[in-house]
Structure 1
Amino acid sequence: MFKAIFTNSFGILFSRILGFLRDLMTASALGANIYSDIFFIAFKLPNLFRRIFAEGAFTQVFIPAYAKSKHRAVFLANIFIIFLSVIIILSLLVTILPNIATQVMAFGFSDEIITIASPFVAINFWYLPLIFSVTFLASMLQYKRHFATTAFSTALLNISLIFALFFSQDKSGEEIVYYLSFGVVIGGVLQLITHIIAIRQLGLSKLVYGGFKYMRVKSKKVAHETKKFKTQFFPAMWG
């Protein structure tokens, strides 16, 4: 228990230090102007869902439900498919209609800022399916009492953004926001890769594969468990 607490604490501290460095570099690169507002808008909703999924709500509900499930492999496959499908559909809608999504997130901002921010919102939103996948795999790792990968992988997003700022030196404000937006997505990809590697190393990949393989056969048997999970998760999500 002490080791797990220390690992999580050190990983969070390391990420926060990098986050502070990232904020300093972002302030230096963009300053207090329209483009700093635009990146704030673009990353606002994905960052909100990152906090909801990655910082507690999903894991707190998923692990007890997973532990009680009589068909764990199929249960986790069901949950993953349902949630990821909804998130991908939402991401596609934001990509197709970025202006509407931006108006919702940037309420009170001028029409000019909303128009400029729209393409960046569409790019940043693809961090959402990535961070959900990361959170899902992290929950499996935590069930096996493996915390190091999740604790330290949170720093990968900040590292990706720091590199984006480094490579976008002497660029225009709009170009810097493009670099940062793609840096967000790349950070999510890196986090997902590290979790996939950890899942394979702990021998959990067979469990995941088995869940998808037998999902059609046993999906009716876990329908009640899946429904119960959803009714518990959504109140916890906003609680």
Structure 2
Amino acid sequence: MSLIRNFLLVGGGTGSSRILGFGRDMLMAAALGAGPVADAFFVAFRLPNLFRRIFAEGAFNSAFVPLFARELEGQGQEAARSFAQQALAALTLTLLVLTIVAELAMPLVMYVLAPGFASDPEKFDLAVQLTRICFPYLLFVSLVALFSGLLNALGRFAVAAFAPTLLNVVFIGALLLIVWSGHAETPTAGVWLSWAVFFGGIAQLLMLIFAARRAGMAPALVRPRLTPGVKRLVALAVPGVLAGGITQINIVIGTMIASMAPQAVSYLYYADRIYQLPLGLVGVAIGVVLLPELARRLRAGEDGAAMHQQNRALEFALALTVPAAVALAAVPGPIISGLFARGAFTEADAAATAGALAAFGLGLPAFVMIKVFQPGFFAREDTRTPMWFAGVNAAINIVLSLALFPFLAHVGIAIATSVGGWVNAALLAIVLRRRGGLAFDDRLGSRVARLVVASAVMGAALVGVRVLAEPALAGMAGDKAILLVLLVGTGLFVYGGLAVMLGVLDRREIMGAVRRGRPENLKAQ
């Protein structure tokens, strides 16, 4: 089934990036820890990284892909290329102006991004310097998103899926140089990492431009004009970006509030990195693949087929994210310790980060369901309804974060993010169902019930392994890493075995998709 094959392809690309990202973050934890330099860099990277995640997860493409596909199928390749050129020109001009203004006003921007840093002038000035270096990445990654959307609309997912790995390769190289040269935990480390962000963005953009040229659809940079197509793109893109990027926007809101407490920004960053792995593997794949599939089906009048694809996407998403959420909530401590507790990152830091990870984990299924339900609106060129629900999500997040922060610190922010995500997912499902765009079939209901049982058993097994293995491994060299490997192996074995036995996962479907997704069968990608 092509839908699963494309999910696996995009998920594989995202997975390779996230695995490299874990290597990057392990090095970063050892080199920066959770001190003032780490806080300053994470704030500097937060805004461009927000746009990277928003655009990578398909928020911009929620507007661009349906319009580009309409031109391609209705008017032909030249009309589609012309529309892409107009979009490229408008996006480039807008982002250049935004970048120049932000660079000049960066101290004022920092009062918004991290108001708590104002009490520490040295940290504040460093954060301003690092953000100025990182900020142009926003331009590069936004243009990457446009080229990715163009390729995805043509059914070419591979290059766009694997492009983010370039940023992590550059990052890892910079971190190794920092450790080798003895600049760990110094402001110099922050400066070098910021330049890694800058050059990583250029590498990604060049890779996507080359892929578009090979596909025969590389748009030229023309004089910006406010054409009807551009007006329609803006009308759809602004609410689409706000709606599609709400999870990441909430993280930025959390960072602003967390900046008022020492180390809280770093704790949230490391917890965010862990739960973003399953969210990226599944959520990004769904956001990228499902939208063009639904748009194509609906445009052809195949409403039943579109409904079937949405059910299968939801089934696939929950089969992978519910067990991940259970694992993050059940054993967050060993996960954080096994990955990050070394060098400048202490066991106390790991314990503080674990609470946030568990809270984020509880919201993981909701974050992924948002990615399943939103394309049902976007494919019908409705980006406003998801935007309003995203606004409700953000309001809940802000109110709960401010209410819980004095009592639970950074963990309260993570709880607020998860609660907002569940409300958003529920609103999307209810309204889409009322409009006739969503109907859960019997297969979905049956498989979800079985995957919940399998996930619960797996969670109990993980807790049992931790209780038995932790004392036995205490004092042994590499005990944290060994425990993490045991837990990962147990989770995969128990859930995987039960999922196959209970019929949660269809082996024939998965293996067929994998066989069709082998490199020799993906020449068109």
TM-score under structure 2 length normalisation: 0.42
Amino acid at match of 2:173: F
- 1:20-169 correspondence to structure 2 within 5 Å: 20-69=22-71, 70=75, 71-109=79-117, 110-112=119-121, 113-169=123-179
Q: 1:192 aligns with which of 205, 209, 214?
A: 205
Q: 2:234 aligns with which of 224, 230, 234?
A: 230
Residue 391 of structure 2 corresponds to none
Looking at structure 2, the residues matched to 97 and 60 of structure 1 have their Cα atoms a distance apart, in angstroms, of 30
My pick for the range that moved more, 158-167 or 96-105, is 96-105
Looking at structure 2, the residues matched to 190 and 38 of structure 1 have their Cα atoms a distance apart, in angstroms, of 24
Looking at structure 1, the residues matched to 53 and 155 of structure 2 have their Cα atoms a distance apart, in angstroms, of 21
TM-superposition CA deviations, 1:31-57 (whole Å, max 9, x none): 121000000110011111112222111
Q: 2:183 aligns with which of 148, 171, 179?
A: 171
Task: For CA contacts below 8 A with separation 6 or more, give which structure has more relative contact order.
Answer: 1
Q: What runs of 5+ residues in structure 1 fail to find an aligned partner?
A: none
My pick for the range that moved more, 62-71 or 175-184, is 62-71
Residue 11 of structure 2 corresponds to 9
My pick for the range that moved more, 1-10 or 162-171, is 1-10
Residue 215 of structure 2 corresponds to 202
Looking at structure 2, the residues matched to 224 and 200 of structure 1 have their Cα atoms a distance apart, in angstroms, of 26
Looking at structure 2, the residues matched to 196 and 226 of structure 1 have their Cα atoms a distance apart, in angstroms, of 21
Looking at structure 2, the residues matched to 114 and 86 of structure 1 have their Cα atoms a distance apart, in angstroms, of 28
TM-superposition CA deviations, 1:81-133 (whole Å, max 9, x none): 11221111111122223211222211222341222211110110010010011
Amino acid at match of 1:94: A
TM-superposition CA deviations, 1:159-202 (whole Å, max 9, x none): 11111101112115111111110111111111111111111211
Q: CA deviation at 1:228?
A: 1.7
Looking at structure 1, the residues matched to 43 and 135 of structure 2 have their Cα atoms a distance apart, in angstroms, of 11
Report if aligned partners of 2:91, 2:143 keep a CA contact under 8 Å in 1. no
Looking at structure 1, the residues matched to 213 and 242 of structure 2 have their Cα atoms a distance apart, in angstroms, of 32
Q: CA deviation at 1:141?
A: 0.8
Aligned length: 230
Looking at structure 2, the residues matched to 200 and 123 of structure 1 have their Cα atoms a distance apart, in angstroms, of 29
Amino acid at match of 2:84: L
TM-superposition CA deviations, 1:205-226 (whole Å, max 9, x none): 3xx13x73xx68xx57xx2222
Amino acid at match of 2:114: A
Looking at structure 1, the residues matched to 9 and 69 of structure 2 have their Cα atoms a distance apart, in angstroms, of 23
TM-score under structure 1 length normalisation: 0.90
Larger Rg: 2
Looking at structure 2, the residues matched to 199 and 228 of structure 1 have their Cα atoms a distance apart, in angstroms, of 23
User: What is the percentage of aligned positions where both structures have the same residue?
Assistant: 32
Amino acid at match of 1:180: L
Amino acid at match of 2:116: G
Amino acid at match of 1:134: V
TM-superposition CA deviations, 1:2-42 (whole Å, max 9, x none): 43222111111111111111111111001121000000110
Looking at structure 1, the residues matched to 100 and 237 of structure 2 have their Cα atoms a distance apart, in angstroms, of 23
Looking at structure 2, the residues matched to 61 and 232 of structure 1 have their Cα atoms a distance apart, in angstroms, of 5
Looking at structure 1, the residues matched to 81 and 9 of structure 2 have their Cα atoms a distance apart, in angstroms, of 28
Looking at structure 2, the residues matched to 75 and 111 of structure 1 have their Cα atoms a distance apart, in angstroms, of 48
- RMSD, matched Cα: 1.7
Q: Structure 1: which 4+ aligned runs deviate by more than 4 Å?
A: none
Looking at structure 1, the residues matched to 217 and 174 of structure 2 have their Cα atoms a distance apart, in angstroms, of 33
Report if aligned partners of 2:41, 2:190 keep a CA contact under 8 Å in 1. yes
